[in-house]
Structure 1
Amino acid sequence: MSMAEDIHQTVAQGQQDWAFSVGVQLVVWGLPIVECWKYRLGKVVGHGAQAQGQAINAFQHMRSLSTRASSKFVNSATDFLYSTAVLDLHQGPLVLTAPDFQERWYGLQVLDPYMETLANLGTRTYGRQLPSVVIANRRDQHRVPAQATVIYSDSDFLYVVGRIAAGDHEDLSAVNALQDGLRLTPLHGADHPGFDLAQVTPGSCAPLRAGDSSCPAELAFFEELGAVLKFVPPSASEGMLLGLMADVGISVENGFAHQSLAPAVREGLARAVVQATAILQGKVFERGELNNGWKLPGAIGNYGHDYILRALVSLHGIWANVAEESLYFMAWTDCEGNLLHGDNQYEIRFEAGQLPPVEAFWSISYYDDQGRLTDNPQDKYTVNSLYHQLQANADGSTSVFIGKAPVAPPFAGNWLPSHSGYFNLNLRCYNPGPALLSGQYRVAPIVRIQGQ
């Protein structure tokens, strides 16, 4: 090999390795942003004749509890009905109003396009009745009345995820009526008759990949990221990312210029997508402290620069909330470290006085190994302390049973049906008390009582 060939090979290898390194970081950083934007496009562009109401700046309601067939998300909760809204503030601030929820638990989570929770409006923060809340881009502060309750954002593109506690099917009509009381209106609608709630920022509904795109499929993620960056650029504290992006042909102004890249750079980026995915799959089981089979992932909801955690949540529960609103304990193994399997029977026994210390309620939900709800004849996916009759044992303890065989009365309400195959559990604690928030409380162990 000549010296010139040796230099060329060294340069190419360096290009590939650097592109790989940068690409992994960009996948981890950008995945949540792309996933949020895809959700937005699905709500706005995918709002066809079957949908009810307006696609943007208005609530869309899930009218029945989640099932395997209806749920589009992994680890979907079945404790409440969702009411969601995709906001576009480019014309000006909006006002959110809500009905009197009386004694029913509810929460309205407001998020920015980086998956950061900006505010929670609900039972914990305001009680049964919300005030009118202004939601505004920070540039419009001068338009907001001085005494208003306001949520400011640095972006026009926000999400509202509403959750209203719901029990069985007989309870749904009451919850549906509350959903219908949620409203979004222009702050200055009377003064600005041209304000069109249904109008989106120009260009923001374009597909992330054009139908005639020449970008190779293995680089599709970077094309999608480049398209989103035009509307959701790195924050002011993330300026260093702009230089890294430029090294691999990505800019806020022009998206992903894959045609200009050397073959070695394209190869490095393609490898980065595969390896970043594998890294995140491993990190799911690495993050958080393990106790009695349960893991608490970390400071969910406000991620700062913890891009790994943010990416993990985007894959396993994109709208997860901050700890003060809800804690999420996840389990893939029993207390002895064995993977949970539906052919076995398990007991989670909370000793007397040791039920999860919450201000609202708690639930334990069952998912298959892909994080999806599983069909069962009882249509029961969750044991819920608010709506299920949980029978205490003679000594005052309370057991939750997991297995294929129904549990005889009076403990039928304590039973969670299983199915063949590996599964995982999610313990959700809504409005957790101080012992949970401080880490002092330890969740009861998951004990295998029958099986292998």
Structure 2
Amino acid sequence: MPPFELLRGEDRRMAEEQIRSAFVYAYPLYAFAATRFAAVQNPANADRYPPNSLRHNRHLSDHASVWITAPNNDTLYSNAWLDLSSGPVRIRVGAMPEGRYWSLAFMDAFTNHFAVVGQRLEGTGPVDLCVVGPGDADQADGARVLQAPGHDAWLFCRCLVDGPDDLARSHAMQDKIEILSGAGEVSGARIVPASPVSPENFLDVVNELLARNPVPAGERQMLEQWRSVGLRPGGPGAWNEIGSDIREAWTRTIGSIYADLGKAGQQGRQDFKGWMAAAADIGNFGDNYPLRASVALGGLGALEPVEAMYFVKYQDESRAPLDGQSRYLLKVPASGIPTDSFWSFTMYEATADGKRFLVENPIGRYSIGNRTPGLVYNADGSLDIALQRQPPDDPQLRANWLPTPAGAFQIALRTYVPRPDLRAGEATLPVVIPVQA
């Protein structure tokens, strides 16, 4: 990239290319800041909670859970926003029940996971953890050190729940996760993320986070090149440090750049035998900055494939869109779905604006999985799940009924601790067969 003096004399295309690459690189920092602000700082949020403290979600998602798109009906969430600027944070996980999924995922400000602790690696536990920022590894006092790349992190916990009757056991699992020390006074981010399409606010927010969360060594030269368009670690004021032509280029292009972020996520999806899955580098993106930004736009916290894989089905086997005016059989092979923990199918109503919500239905069933009681399997061990609006007449299919909405829908397949053949795309996946009227 040319230095600032030359860039100011170049045509619009050169400035816009540099602004686009800087925005795509830095947008996950902005999404991180905005999500954290909403949870811990926003005065309009009566349920906000301080950094370095856990907040448990004690309720199962249902059709009324419209505050988030594609809610999970398999696990209860707990989370904490960690501020390591005053020192390490100590976390203890007590012994968990045998055979029940749990995980603690630690995500940095760039939205990469730097550690995942849970059933996959620890079994039942217990485990003592010390999350440390840059230069603090010598303060662990015998606990396992989790080295955070910067001073800001998000802890997101998942504990298995097997329906409403299982909530008490899931709550007991959540209560075994404790933050023992909160590192005293914190000096968190001060700039309010007001709008990602305000160039001045965008630069102020991400520059503050860059000062608290250093970029990897291999990306420092790239960051230095973006200084000419205002991206640099430090406090507010970058907007006034760049020339009027660069400010004009930011104002002219930031809206279209932001609108284009979602396209990278669509392009990064993989077709797994008729099911769409996220790209293999989700959760730890490496240098795939467009995918990282696109995922951050859709929502933070997607796990790496070694921990969980998510698949979505939009069409039946004839490539016709799934619609509640029709009936279908979701056929799970006798070999099952290869995971070392559990799997489930969740039914979502598909809205015109691309959001997905759980479907209100008379039996209160929003998902079916290998832990669902009362399912009736075929003699060969396979499973037929009825996807339709009204209850099936056949008693076996009625036991295996996953109700659909009246219109367009999608099915999400969640697999926790998927086995290598599933991650490699070699496993046999279920098919959706239309049933003739």
Tell me which interval the TM-score lies in, with the shorter structure as reference length. 0.7 to 0.9
Alpha-carbon shift at residue 179 of structure 1 (Å): 1.6
1:382 corresponds to which of 342, 364, 367: 367
Moved more, 307-316 or 73-82: 307-316
Residues 328 and 109 of structure 1, relative CA distance in 2, 3 Å threshold = same
Deviations 1:79-135 (A, max 9, x none): 010011111112221221123221222111111111111222111111112221111
Aligned to 2:397: 411
Amino acid at match of 2:435: I
1:105 aligns with 2:119: no
Q: Deviations over 1:33-61 (max 9, x none)?
A: 21112121122113778438x52211100
> 1:75–1:316: 8 Å Cα contact kept in structure 2?
no
3-state SS, counterpart of residue 356 of structure 2: coil
- Read off the aligned partner of 1:293 and give its amino acid letter: G
Aligned partners of 2:243 and 2:314: how far apart in 1? 43
Q: Describe how 1:186-335 pairs up with structure 2 within 5 A.
A: 186=181, 196=184, 199-202=185-188, 204-209=189-194, 217=198, 220-255=201-236, 257-259=238-240, 261=242, 264-298=245-279, 299-335=281-317
1:396–1:216: structure 2 CA closer, same or farther, 3 Å change rule? closer
Structure 2 unmatched ranges of 5 or more: 1-6
Give, in whole Å, the separation in 1 of the partners of 2:56 and 2:326: 37
**Residue number among 28, 31, 36 corresponding to 1:32 in the alignment:** 28
Q: Alpha-carbon deviation of 1:361?
A: 0.6
Counterpart Cα distance in 2 of 1:433 and 1:120: 17
Is contact 1:18–1:268 with CA below 8 Å preserved after alignment? no
TM-score, normalised to structure 2's length?
0.86
2:4 corresponds in structure 1 to none
d(CA) in 1 for partners of 2:87 and 2:331?
52
Is 1:172 aligned to 2:154, yes or no?
A: no
1:350-396 deviations in whole A, cap 9, x for unaligned? 2222x211111101123324233234134433222223433223443
Picking from 374, 387, 394, the partner of 1:402 is 387
Q: Kindly tell me: are residues 166 and 259 of structure 1, through their superposed partners in 2, closer, same or farther at Cα, counting changes over 3 Å?
A: same
The alignment partner of 1:228 has SS state of helix
| Structure 1 residues 300-339: Cα deviation after superposition (integer angstroms, max 9, x where no partner) | 2111111122223223342111112111122333334333
- Please tell me the residue identity of whatever aligns with 1:275: S
- Aligned residue for 2:420? 434
From 118, 122, 127, the equivalent of 2:118 is 122
* 1:245-303 deviation digits (Å, cap 9, x = unpaired): 32323322244633455555345334543433443333333223324321222222111
Give the counterpart letter for 1:296 in structure 2. A
CA displacement at 1:411 relative to structure 2: 2.7
For residue 227 of structure 1, report the CA deviation from its aligned partner. Answer: 4.4
Is contact 1:16-1:266 (8 Å) kept?
Answer: no
Change (3 A) 1:338 1:22: farther
Q: Any stretches of 5+ residues in structure 1 without a counterpart?
A: 1-10, 188-194
The answer as to whether partners of 1:60 and 1:84 remain within 8 angstroms in 2 is: yes
Select between 172-181 and 43-52 the one with higher mean Cα deviation. 43-52
- Classify 1:208/1:443 alpha carbon distance in 2 versus 1 (closer, same or farther; 3 Å): same
Q: Which amino acid aligns with 2:417?
A: N
1:360 aligns with 2:360: no
Residue in 2 aligned with 1:149? 144
Pick closer, same or farther for the CA change 1:281–1:153 going to 2, 3 Å. closer
Alpha-carbon distance in structure 2 between the residues aligned to 1:216 and 1:41: 17
Structure 1 stretch displaced more, 21-30 or 269-278: 269-278
> What residue is the counterpart of 1:21 in the other structure?
17
Instruction: Give the TM-score of the pair, scaled to structure 1.
Output: 0.84
Change (3 A) 1:61 1:412: farther
In structure 2, the CA distance between the partners of 1:335 and 1:256, relative to structure 1 (3 Å rule), is farther
- Residue 431 of structure 1: how far off its partner (Å): 1.1
Would you say how many aligned residue pairs link Structure 1 and Structure 2?
425
> Displacement of 1:72 after TM fit?
3.8
